[in-house]
Amino acid sequence: MHHPLVRGAGALGLAVVLATSTAACESGSGTNTTKAEPSTASASPSASATSASASASASASATVPPLPASLTGQQLTWRACPAPSVAQGGGGEAPGAPWECATLKAPLDHTHPDGRTIDLALIRARATGAGGQSRIGSLIYNFGGPGASGVATLPGLAKDYADLNARYDLVSFDPRGVGDSAGVHCLDDAATDASAAVDGSPDDAAEVTALDTANADYTAACEQHSGTVLPYVDTVSAARDLDLMRQVLGDAKLHYFGISYGTELGGVYAHQYPGNVGHLVMDAVVDPTKDPLQGALGQAQGFQRALENFMKACAEQAGASCPTGPGGAEGTRRITDLLTALDARPLPADGSRTLTQDLAVTGIAAALYNRNTWNALAVGLQEAMSGGTGSTLLALADSYTGRDQQGHYSNLSAANRAISCADDRQRYTSTDIQEQLPAFRQASPVFGDFTAWGLTGCTGWPVSGHADHPEVSAPGAAPIVVIGNTGDPATPFEGAQAMARQLGAGVGVDVTLQGQGHGGYDSGNACLKQAVDQYLLADRVPAEGTTCT
């Protein structure tokens, strides 16, 4: 029952979390208790937030009282970081110097800020001051999902941000409901494996019933184990956490780098706190104008487009030995034939595990996030089509769903569903999906069914969703750089243009990368990196419509 493509409902529209990640954040040696150094940015009063829309959940009341001084004035205790916890992804070593971790206390319910608190896990590397450069403040990262552990992800990607680290403390966090921040827990490892074995693209009434039952069982497990936090893991609450973080870190303005779902979080923050926006970058942008069904359809189209780009490159480089042949319709037919065969008979993989149809689609999707994994995709398809083994595609799928080699799952999938269902008002039934299947299949013969059926995961969820789509209008905010990659599979390029428009005139600055993969800054494109670095380091806003090739 893995639905890898949709942001929500048991699916994983992930950002760059597939990269190596090596950190976690709990108590350890080397304690350092400090109030963070103040930012050199100009001061601005903290705004009292108002919600973008009426909400059915407990945390989205229209007016939010100010946070008490016990929270805004709290002192963070920075310690050496241990290895990632299982909930954060596990499997790695402690990141070592210069990384430090801390725990931030935040209200469980921002409408009752004097009530119960939760702990949010943070990580940072202090500004290096390389070349005698002065510190600007903290640059806070969210790597998407929703459900990606920022604490575990940032150290593995820090080399991409080394130039920014000269003037910024690099900071990330596990958002509420994620990893070690009151992480949502649903099924244990064995039950998660069993759930993954349920056909996620049902072909008959019996399979539809089995999928509906699996979704209901998953929902019941989430409510049983994490019912207390489920009403409060929404993006509006996470944005309020960001402003608390800003204050406790000592920054007059929020400097923020959001990737994939992190762009939605950044947009929601800008809407609530436009006067507190400092420098804000959005990369691999979620379209804020689309409801979940429209977003899923766009993702099906985006992944199909990326797959066709992969097949074209494979044919050019490998010729007749490419597993998808000449690409195009013939390449798509070969892949759909493989998926049909897997639906009837999964392939053996490592140990006692098998590659199912669902896991094969997940593995293919995972490889399309980054052009550097296209070779692995070609190998995996060749193995499955000609070698009778599914090991490589299964490994790609595991990296995507947060399953390590010992069979332990992070809470990535659970957090993804919980956050998405808290955000999205829509609840889709099996009948709704069956009516939409023709449009999804036309959008993508490979990914259409899976993206469509992934929308049923919020049906029966115990918490009502907030809105049809996020509110991101931010009149009066400082300029926000919005990056769209024309070959992005998970967040199609058009979403960046929509986000820039919705942020408002003079706020959203549209920047385009004509490239492949999910996101742009870490793609190695020098033009794009220079544009973003000059904005963040020298306060030079790119010209509207800047295009990098």
Give residue 262's identity as a one-letter amino acid code: G
Give residue 311's identity as a one-letter amino acid code: M
| Cα–Cα dist 489/87, whole Å | 27
- Please check the confidence at residue 137 and state whether its pLDDT lies above 60: yes
Packing angle, helices 391-401 and 374-382, rounded to 10? 130
Across the range 417-434, mean pLDDT stands at: 97
Measure Cα distances from 476 to 138, 278, 280, 534, 540 in Å.
22, 12, 14, 22, 18
Predicted confidence band of residue 63 (pLDDT cuts 50, 70, 90): confident
Token code pair at residue 528 = 């794009």
DSSP β-bridge partners for residue 122: 102, 173
- Residue-level pLDDT at 516: 92
Q: What stretches of 323-469 show up as alpha helix (H) in DSSP?
A: 328-344, 357-367, 374-382, 391-401, 412-423, 430-443, 448-453
| Cα–Cα dist 331/347, whole Å | 20
Give residue 225's identity as a one-letter amino acid code: H
The phi-psi region of residue 171 (left if phi > 0; otherwise alpha if psi is between -120 and 50; otherwise beta) is beta
Token code pair at residue 489 = 């599979």
Is 225 part of the annotated catalytic residue set? no
322-351 residue pLDDT tens = 999 999 999 999 999 999 999 999 999 988
Options 138, 149, 260, 444, the catalytic residue: 260
Across the range 357-375, mean pLDDT stands at: 96
Across the range 310-323, mean pLDDT stands at: 97
Give ∠ CA 148-306-456 in degrees, rounded to 5.
Answer: 55
| Cα–Cα dist 330/66, whole Å | 60
| Cα–Cα dist 393/376, whole Å | 8
CATH 1.10.10.10 fits 1-36+50-549, yes or no: no
336: nearest Cα among 444, 451, 476: 444
Token code pair at residue 245 = 């973080």
- Please check the confidence at residue 56 and state whether its pLDDT lies above 50: no
- Residue-level pLDDT at 42: 32
495: nearest Cα among 296, 302, 299, 286: 286
- Residue-level pLDDT at 16: 38
| Cα–Cα dist 52/441, whole Å | 34
Per DSSP, 56 falls in state S
112: nearest Cα among 230, 227, 226, 232: 232
DSSP β-bridge partners for residue 117: 107
- Average pLDDT of the residues of the chain: 90
- Pairing state between β 168-173 and 117-125: antiparallel
| Cα–Cα dist 121/102, whole Å | 6
- How many helices (DSSP H) and strands (DSSP E) are in the chain? 17, 13
| pTM for this predicted structure | 0.89
| Cα–Cα dist 160/418, whole Å | 30
Options 149, 358, 518, 522, the catalytic residue: 518
Predicted confidence band of residue 1 (pLDDT cuts 50, 70, 90): low
Give residues with Cβ within 8 angstroms of 111, minimum separation 6: 58, 59, 61, 64, 65
511-542 residue pLDDT tens = 999 999 999 999 999 999 999 999 999 999 99
Strands (E), 89-237: 99-107, 117-125, 137-142, 168-173
Is 420 part of the annotated catalytic residue set? no
| Cα–Cα dist 536/231, whole Å | 35
234-260 residue pLDDT tens = 999 999 999 999 999 999 999 999 999
Residue 120 half-sphere exposure toward CB, CA atoms < 13 A: 27
146-195 residue pLDDT tens = 999 999 999 999 999 999 999 999 999 999 999 999 999 999 999 999 99
- Please check the confidence at residue 51 and state whether its pLDDT lies above 90: no
Phi then psi for residue 520, to 5 deg, are -130, -35
Say what the alpha-carbon torsion angle 7, 13, 16, 19 is, to the nearest 10 degrees.
130
- Residue-level pLDDT at 351: 87
156: nearest Cα among 363, 261, 17, 257: 17
Per DSSP, 67 falls in state P
Contact yes or no for 163/278 (Cβ under 8 A): no
Element (H, E) at 240: helix 235-249
Portion of the chain with pLDDT greater than 90, in percent:
87
- Residue-level pLDDT at 25: 30
478-522 residue pLDDT tens = 999 999 999 999 999 999 999 999 999 999 999 999 999 999 999
Strands (E), 242-335: 254-260, 277-285
| Cα–Cα dist 452/443, whole Å | 11
Polymer length of the chain: 549
Cis (ω within 30 of 0) for the bond into 98? yes
Terminal CA-to-CA distance of the chain, rounded, Å? 38
- Pairing state between β 347-348 and 480-487: unpaired
- Burial of 118-134, coded b for 16+ CB within 10 Å and e otherwise, reads bbbbbbbbbbbeeeeee
- Residue-level pLDDT at 109: 98
Phi then psi for residue 399, to 5 deg, are -60, -30
DSSP calls for 492-542: -THHHHHHHHHH-TTTEEEEEEEEESS-SGGGT-HHHHHHHHHHHHH--PP
Per DSSP, 50 falls in state B
Options 488, 510, 522, 523, the catalytic residue: 488
Is 518 part of the annotated catalytic residue set? yes
